[in-house]
Structure 1
């Protein structure tokens, strides 16, 4: 079921389950490798802008992470977003992969360093959407 921008503006995303359902409705099953940014206001209401990001490297280096987080910050400032949801789309299975962990960990760290609130990260895979919990990626960069 696709949700309209008007309906999304009436329904704040207050639970993890609501976020996962919204991402499943809007992005759904993976078609190709890319990532998505959804923006929320200070009340957890999704703003009417979703940004797809194509062409990112499989595994980010520091420059790719910096470029990505700076672009994210600029958009947040322009539209008045308080927090973001990151969705990692790739047409493989639901198992978390090393590239998933590296991207999620590097973006989470860079966002924290700049005071950007990442409300959630999810993975869009070939059969659906799954929650990508911080336990799945936090500490990854320090361990590698």
Structure 2
């Protein structure tokens, strides 16, 4: 994943990418800011050619499990069956010691939140909420993040309305 020299200036100099040589030696993720920094490390310098959903899991101490699942070429509108299948994928690693899960949408383009981001995020979060309500998803779900050519940011509720 590379970014153009034009967008290189958009990354703040005080927001360096923490190199991760091995997940088992990476710092634990215990706060939302830790999670944003982890996503920055995993996403690299940006420059995405497609829209993807990335999934990572953490144990109860915040140690990332050695699995990263990208789901590429997400449509602008997610089918209900697709969201249900996604929830099954999200919840599966609970059997492997996962205590929480983090999700990130990545796409080409600038960091401002667009309608497609909102639509995808709201569909995913609604599926997560339904699964939690019926007891089908017991993992803690971290706030959803968005990665674009020039940023990695949390998608707070205000951005999703």
Cα pair 1:13 1:19 within 8 Å, conserved: yes
Q: Which runs of 5+ in 2 are unaligned?
A: 1-17
Q: Which runs of 5+ in 1 are unaligned?
A: none
Q: CA offset at residue 108 of structure 1?
A: 1.5
1:100 maps onto 2:117 in alignment: yes
- Report which of the two has the higher share of helix: 1
Deviations 1:19-66 (A, max 9, x none): 111100111314122110011112222111110111321221212211
> Cα gap change, 1:124/1:30 in structure 2, threshold over 3 Å: closer, same or farther?
farther
Report runs of 4+ in structure 1 exceeding 4 Å deviation. Answer: none
Cα pair 2:76 2:119 within 8 Å, conserved: no
- 1:57-72 counterparts in 2 under 5 A? 57-72=75-90
Deviations 1:83-110 (A, max 9, x none): 1111101011111111211221121121
Q: What SS does the corresponding residue of 2:83 show, helix, strand or coil?
A: helix
> Equivalent of 1:42, from 60, 64, 67?
60
RMSD after superposition:
1.7
> What TM-score do the two structures reach when normalised by structure 2?
0.75
Aligned length: 135
1:27 aligns with 43
1:2 maps onto 2:8 in alignment: no
Cα pair 1:30 1:124 within 8 Å, conserved: no
- Rg larger for: 2
> Equivalent of 2:30, from 11, 14, 24?
14
Cα pair 1:35 1:89 within 8 Å, conserved: yes
